[in-house]
Amino acid sequence: MISEGRNNHLLSNWKCLLICCAVSMANCQYGFDTAAVAGFQAMIGFLEVYGYKDPKVKSGWNIHTKPQQLISSFLNVGTILGVILAGPFAHKFGRRPAIWVAAAVSMVACGVQVGVDSLAGLYAGRILLGLGNGFFILFSNTYTVEVAPAHHRAILASFFGFWVNTGSILGAVADNYSKNLLNKHSYQIPLASLFAIPFLLSIFMIFVPESPRWLLLHNKTAEARKALQQLRGTSLSPELLDEEFIEMQRGIEQEKELASTTSVLDIFKGTDLRRTILSAGAIASHAASGVWFTISYGTFFYQMAGIKNPFQTTIIQNCMGLFGALCGMFLMHKVFGRRPMLLIGAGGCCICMLAIGLLSIAGKSKDAGKALVGFALMFNFFYNGFTGTITWPIAGELVSSRLRVFSVGLGTGINYFFNWLISYCTPFFLNADDLNWGAKYGYIWAGSNAIAFVFFFFLIPETKDRSLEEIDEMFVNKVPRRQFKTYHCVSSERAKEIAIKDMSETAKAEFSVHTEAL
């Protein structure tokens, strides 16, 4: 186990906390955009450009199923392309340059969407923004997992949930205040507001050090040590900093010994196959929860369900998600391990979606509408407070440093493939011109959450407070899932012994020089 002195207070690591918070802000774009675009589909100004007149609908305007599908799903197509390109880019250039590239692509994408008035131009902007999102999501979450101290890794890597929900609230608020503009400005203002996120992030990244583990993988030892010192600040004494760096260095060296090359195909070989399955499954649980349905079509769904104030309801839904994310960050840090968080989240989401499905029996009565909103809010609390908060830290820590970006990239690609499928198919279920399922759509997500619960229960190990090198050791030694919590690792102890020996030899050398001078 790691030295007790390294298990210091979160505020002692204030510098790393601020750095991880800044890098995770990349996920704010994802939340803002999805919430804003969900609202566009209920805006007269947007529908006048991309929809059609429909006297059957209360607003007098509607949108065809095909563009409704493509507007949301093309974002996921771009994200899939982003994570495919991310692996080779990360291996050569690192985490920081990838975030700068994503910021530039995102700003171009925002400009395209604001400036065009054709569906083809809008689709191109959605794909470009998805490309930027793919880099943002993959590299911001990979970076925070790699640089965070072991005992604070969950809370620092879970800023994903905080920023996504903050972005969702901002996107929903922007829609709410611009929805009454009966022209293009109704949707152009929220889209133009999106420029702020990549712009601010590109400035913040000037002050962020590169990942020490990525630097060690590329034999940049001096730069890696300097980066670790920048990240830890004064939170560790010199000897404890040496211990962490040596453990990190030895872990990277052992990975290189096990595989002389880094090939994407290695994620399907040996123990790395097990790690890839667990990581990809954890990430894909986002799609399985049904959250993409509530994010992309929440406002439209509430409108079709007869809810009086669909835009305000979406804001409340996103506020509940943020409250859940904050509660989840506290609970994972102070109360629960990884597995209980996952199981509570999947179980809670399953029950809420089942309740939404059952409400279809009650029709569109006022009481049924209130109950539907209530369970939708509870769903957002359980997802963002538990499953959505903890899965990114788990996905990043379960895989090796050498293959992290490839394994997490695969999981992200799979997740966004299903998000694309959900985006494409959901209008068929909700649109009055097609299946018009309404609340019955919740039955599908109740079943998928039940499957995720079973996956978490039987396969995901407990890794709370373990260093990444200790997790590597347990996978290499093929430790069963049930023994992860109690297994005695020796990697940290060996690093401690080496650090003490190095300091002793340094002290002897300094004493010898001093004696000779006398």
Taking the CA atoms of residue 122, residue 123, residue 128 and residue 132 in that order, the dihedral angle to the nearest 10 degrees is 90
The band of 102, judged by pLDDT with boundaries at 50, 70 and 90, is very high
DSSP 437: -
User: For 48-56, what is the mean pLDDT?
Assistant: 80
Residue for token digits 């709370």?
464
Dihedral over Cα of 160, 452, 84, 400: its sign: positive
Is 309's pLDDT higher than 50?
A: yes
The string of pLDDT tens digits covering residues 333-391 is 888 888 999 999 999 999 999 998 888 776 666 777 778 778 888 888 899 889 888 89
Q: Which segment of 113-117, 161-165, 174-178, 508-512 scores lowest on mean pLDDT?
A: 508-512
In this structure, are residues 394 and 460 in contact, taking their beta carbons and an 8 Å threshold? Answer: yes
Closest CA to 408 of 505, 303, 324, 283: 283
User: Of 14, 319, 36, whose CA–CA distance to 171 is shortest?
Assistant: 36
Q: Hey, what are 244's tokens?
A: 């962490």
- Report helix, strand or coil for 53: strand
Q: How far apart are CA 94 and CA 147, in angstroms?
A: 13
CA-based nearest residue to 403, from 497, 306, 277, 250? 277
Task: Dump the DSSP string for 473-496.
Answer: HHHHTT--GGGTTT----HHHHHH
**Token pair of 92, please?**
């050569």
Q: Tell me the residue type at 136.
A: F
pLDDT in tens, 155-209: 888 888 889 888 888 888 888 888 788 788 888 898 899 899 999 999 999 999 9
Residues 6+ apart with CB under 8 A from 506: none
pLDDT of residue 513: 47
- Go through the domains of the chain in sequence order and give each one's CATH number: 4-211+249-492 (1.20.1250.20)
Higher pLDDT, 87 or 122: 122
Tokens of 373: 């909103």
pLDDT of 507 over the 60 cut: no
The Cα–Cα gap between 54 and 77 comes to 30
Q: Which two tokens stand for residue 250?
A: 């030895």
DSSP secondary structure code for residue 385 in this structure? I
Look at the pTM and tell me if it is higher than 0.95.
no
**462: its two tokens:** 């407990």
421-433 burial code (b ≥16 CB/10 A, e <16): ebbbebbebbbee
Query: Is residue 301 over pLDDT 50?
Result: yes
Q: In the beta sheet, which residues pair with residue 53?
A: 61
CA distance 17 to 21: 6
Residue 514 in this model has a pLDDT that exceeds 50 = no
- For residues 218-240, give the mean pLDDT: 90
Q: pLDDT at residue 229 above 90?
A: yes
**236 DSSP 8-state letter:** S
- Give the C-alpha separation, 35 to 27, whole Å: 13
User: Are 110 and 129 spatial neighbours (Cβ–Cβ below 8 Å)?
Assistant: yes
Most confident segment among 139-143, 218-222, 426-430: 218-222
Residue ranges of alpha helices (H) inside 41-64 are 44-50
Residue 248, both tokens: 């990190």
